[in-house]
Amino acid sequence: MDCEFAIRLGMAIGTFMKGPVMIGTDARTSNDMLKLACASGLMAVGCNVTDCGIVPTPTLQYAVKNGKVAGGVVITASHNPPEFNGIKAIDKDGTEMARENEEEIERIYHERAFTPADWSRAGRLVVNTTSIDRYIGGVISKVDVASIRRARLRVAVDCGNGASSLVTPKLLERLGVQYVTLNADPNGAFPGHNSEPVPENTKDLVELVKAGGFDFGVVHDGDGDRTVFVDETGRYLYGDRSLAIVANYICSQKPGRLVVTNVASSSCIEDAVKMAGGRIMYTKVGSPTIARAMMQHGGIFGGEENGGLIFAEFQYCRDGAMAVAKMLEIVATKGKLSGLNDRIPAYCQCKKKTACPEERKQDVMKELAKDASGGRVDTTDGVKIYFEDGWVIVRPSGTEPIFRIFSESKSAERAERVAEEYKKRVEKLVKG
Ligand code: MG
């Protein structure tokens, strides 16, 4: 990625959006270079640009949604290592761009079908530093502030030197929550740890919470759209657990509410939703798909096991700070996070993968779906086959010549056995 690429992609995005655009970045070292190049491209095709500075992705999405603009651009590589970067277009309603619109932008880019503006129509650049305060105000308006304040909670927060450093501590301050921070200064070298909120990057936070005195711990990814929680005993909660806890709470507030997640999510989410009288809907993997299904079918809450939680009442995108605020409300009103977690059934999971040439993938999936040994089959994304106390899903990787095999059961041995059985079955089908 270089600035010439960013200029041309900016021209393609601007040609597509045909109007004012907001731009923001996470905390990466190459951001200023890419942002100004991309903004130049946008202005070259006549778009006025508002530079929102370093902001979490959901902060920019909230600004776009409320800003009467044609769209947004965020320069971020999310949770990836420091040498990575990306340029991502945001739709005018603040959601992640639908795949077909991204493809149209790619077409404009590759065909150089830009619509350059002459000197009198070139876009202008303004800087706006108010988006973070507006966003925090928006988050606060969606939670029970009185209960949170009354509970006098204490939270340990690891911002991973990402964009959330500028938001989550301020949010906690404004909610009257006491907090201790780790890695809470934006730094694109990620000196604290890599920016994916996985267990190996969360050791310091877990130790801090274990030392005692916190209601829970929080860790964000680099661009602050994902949040993972550590309970008050220092236990790392995988994203499907926090998804289940929040889904259970939101569904318990009104019967019949709809929660949307992808077809590879743990059944603990469905269990938690049904325990609270709610309904579940499964989609293909990917947060834009989940967000759009929520919009279309009236889903109140949704997300995936990577810690990306979507709250329809706030905005239709993954939102790290909103997840923190909602979890504060839940713990303030329902009690300890460890207890909330223990109330939801747990499953054992097993993940495997096996090689398959691209051209064989479709045939293998067809054969798998046919030969499901009588179990219920779901082909929403890959092939999912249910058995007595669990399921197995076989999905082709979108980027590698492999199949991923993922199983879940109440028993660890059964999860392992079924995953191995389907791995062998795929290997046999690949050979033909
Ligand atoms: Mg992210």
| Inter-residue contact 263 to 380 (CB < 8 Å) | yes
Taking the centre of ligand 1 as the mean of its atom positions, its distance from the CA of residue 59, in whole angstroms, is 12
pTM: 0.95
pLDDT at site 375: 78
Q: What distance in Å separates the CA atoms of residue 223 and residue 168, rounded to the nearest whole number?
A: 12
> pLDDT tens digit string along 205-255?
999 999 989 999 999 999 999 999 999 999 999 999 999 999 999 999 999
With 80 as the cut, is the pLDDT of residue 373 above it?
A: no
Nearby residues of 179 by Cβ (< 8 Å), 6 or more positions away: 154, 155, 156, 157, 169, 172, 173
> pLDDT tens digit string along 280-323?
999 999 999 999 999 999 999 999 999 999 999 999 999 999 99
Using alpha carbons, select from 339, 343, 311, 305 the residue that is nearest to residue 325.
311
With 90 as the cut, is the pLDDT of residue 180 above it?
A: yes
Taking the centre of ligand 1 as the mean of its atom positions, its distance from the CA of residue 288, in whole angstroms, is 13
Token output for 99: 């795949």
Question: In which band, very low, low, confident or very high, does the pLDDT at 28 lie, cut at 50, 70 and 90?
Answer: very high
Taking the centre of ligand 1 as the mean of its atom positions, its distance from the CA of residue 287, in whole angstroms, is 11
Mean per-residue pLDDT, 324-349: 97
pLDDT at site 341: 98
Taking the centre of ligand 1 as the mean of its atom positions, its distance from the CA of residue 195, in whole angstroms, is 9
Using alpha carbons, select from 29, 318, 27 the residue that is nearest to residue 161.
27
Taking the centre of ligand 1 as the mean of its atom positions, its distance from the CA of residue 78, in whole angstroms, is 4
Taking the centre of ligand 1 as the mean of its atom positions, its distance from the CA of residue 56, in whole angstroms, is 9
Taking the centre of ligand 1 as the mean of its atom positions, its distance from the CA of residue 7, in whole angstroms, is 23
pLDDT at site 37: 98
Q: What average pLDDT does the chain have?
A: 96
pLDDT at site 370: 86
* Count of CB atoms situated within 10 Å of the CB of 41: 28
Taking the centre of ligand 1 as the mean of its atom positions, its distance from the CA of residue 365, in whole angstroms, is 30
Q: What distance in Å separates the CA atoms of residue 124 and residue 60, rounded to the nearest whole number?
A: 19
- What structural domains and CATH numbers belong to the chain? 3-129 (3.40.120.10), 134-342 (3.40.120.10), 348-431 (3.30.310.50)
Question: In which band, very low, low, confident or very high, does the pLDDT at 388 lie, cut at 50, 70 and 90?
Answer: confident
Q: What distance in Å separates the CA atoms of residue 89 and residue 6, rounded to the nearest whole number?
A: 12
> pLDDT tens digit string along 77-120?
999 999 999 999 999 999 999 889 999 999 999 999 999 999 99
Percentage of residues of the chain with pLDDT beyond 70: 100
Taking the centre of ligand 1 as the mean of its atom positions, its distance from the CA of residue 213, in whole angstroms, is 29
Taking the centre of ligand 1 as the mean of its atom positions, its distance from the CA of residue 221, in whole angstroms, is 6
First to last CA, the chain: 41
- How distant, in Å, are the alpha carbons of 161, 182, 205, 206, 337 from that of 210? 22, 15, 8, 6, 14
Taking the centre of ligand 1 as the mean of its atom positions, its distance from the CA of residue 27, in whole angstroms, is 12
Token output for 246: 């929040």
Mean per-residue pLDDT, 398-425: 94
> pLDDT tens digit string along 113-164?
999 999 999 999 999 999 999 999 999 999 999 999 999 999 999 999 999 9
pLDDT at site 390: 94
Active-site entry in 30, 78, 195, 267: 78
Nearby residues of 267 by Cβ (< 8 Å), 6 or more positions away: 345, 347, 390, 391, 408
DSSP track, 371-398? --TT--EE-SSSEEEEETTEEEEEEE-S
Q: Is 40 among the residues known to form the active site?
A: no
